């Protein structure tokens, strides 16, 4: 899985939907994840920003921020492209890509040389636990090394690698950026997960319950039964041979 600007994000259209009823049934746990990869020096023809969308670990889309081009990588993506949330989703993903590209020069480690190619990665996750609780979080890193965590619920930043110190110092003081990350993960992402699950519920249930496993179990049980029967017959024959000569 890949880790992971231009114009400023449009904060006005990002609703903080913290109190909307969630459609998932009690006992169901689901997660929606978006992996952003922003390239500081893309090669000719290479996109500067790519987003990969996943639900419960299953990839359903790949999005080119610069060209605003979506590629569906599974029936899950095709199933939700007609939902009301779809247009808002693509706009917000593009805004996140723009923000990360805009922030990249200011959050890069002081030891980084301008001539070195660098990628900034961000992973946004919103998760509905089996008790209905919704959580949101972000992970950030450079060129495959995770450096910084953001808990969207309490707004706490955690440095997990020295490369994330400068990033935390800047974003922790910038309330607009922190609020943007929080609203996208706890508001928009939650709304998308809620709306998409209406279409995905049956598909996810089907893919989560493969029919091959029970067949293997039954085949194994049958084989053991046959072996037991054969051993019983051989043991009986041996006893008869010994005592009757």
Q: Phi/psi of residue 46, each to 5°?
A: -90, 135
pTM above 0.75, yes or no: no
Residues 124 and 198 in one domain: yes
The span from the CA of 148 to the CA of 170, in Å, is 12
Residues 227 and 180 in one domain: no
In a domain, 6, yes or no: no
The CATH number of residue 48's host domain is 3.30.500.10
Residues 35 and 141 in one domain: yes
Q: Could you report the per-residue pLDDT of 113-140, keeping only the tens digit for each?
A: 555 678 899 999 999 887 778 889 999 9
In a domain, 139, yes or no: yes
What is the number of domains present in the chain?
2
Q: Could you report the per-residue pLDDT of 18-62, keeping only the tens digit for each?
A: 222 233 344 478 899 999 999 988 888 889 999 999 999 889 999
What pLDDT shows up at residue 223? 38
Q: Which segments of the chain does DSSP mark as H helices, in order? A: 75-80, 85-107, 165-173, 175-183, 189-208, 212-244
Residues 194 and 229 in one domain: no
Residues 218 and 183 in one domain: no
Residues 18 and 137 in one domain: yes
Residues 116 and 227 in one domain: no
Range of the domain at 221: 214-245
Residues 113 and 25 in one domain: yes
The span from the CA of 153 to the CA of 176, in Å, is 16
């Amino acid at each position: 899985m890949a880790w992971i600007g231009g114009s400023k994000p449009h904060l006005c259209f990002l609703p903080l939907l913290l109190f909307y009823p969630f459609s998932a049934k009690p006992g169901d746990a689901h997660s929606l994840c978006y992996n952003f990869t922003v390239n500081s020096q893309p090669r000719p023809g290479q996109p500067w920003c790519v987003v990969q969308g996943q639900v419960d670990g299953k990839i359903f889309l790949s999005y080119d921020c610069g060209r605003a081009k979506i590629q569906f990588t599974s029936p899950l993506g095709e199933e939700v492209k007609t939902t009301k949330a779809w247009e808002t989703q693509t706009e917000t993903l593009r805004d996140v890509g723009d923000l990360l590209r805009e922030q990249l020069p200011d959050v890069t480690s002081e030891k980084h040389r301008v001539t070195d190619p660098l990628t900034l990665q961000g992973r946004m996750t919103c998760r509905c636990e089996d008790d209905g609780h919704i959580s949101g979080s972000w992970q950030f890193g450079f060129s495959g090394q995770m450096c910084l965590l953001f808990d969207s619920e309490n707004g706490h930043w955690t440095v997990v690698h020295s490369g994330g110190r400068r990033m935390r110092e800047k974003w922790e003081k910038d309330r607009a950026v922190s609020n943007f990350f929080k609203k996208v993960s706890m508001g928009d992402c939650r709304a998308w997960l809620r709306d998409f699950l209406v279409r995905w519920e049956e598909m996810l249930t089907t893919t989560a319950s493969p029919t091959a496993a029970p067949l293997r179990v039954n085949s194994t049980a049958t084989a053991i039964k046959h072996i037991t029967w054969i051993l019983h017959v051989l043991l009986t024959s041996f006893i008869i041979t010994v005592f009757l000569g």
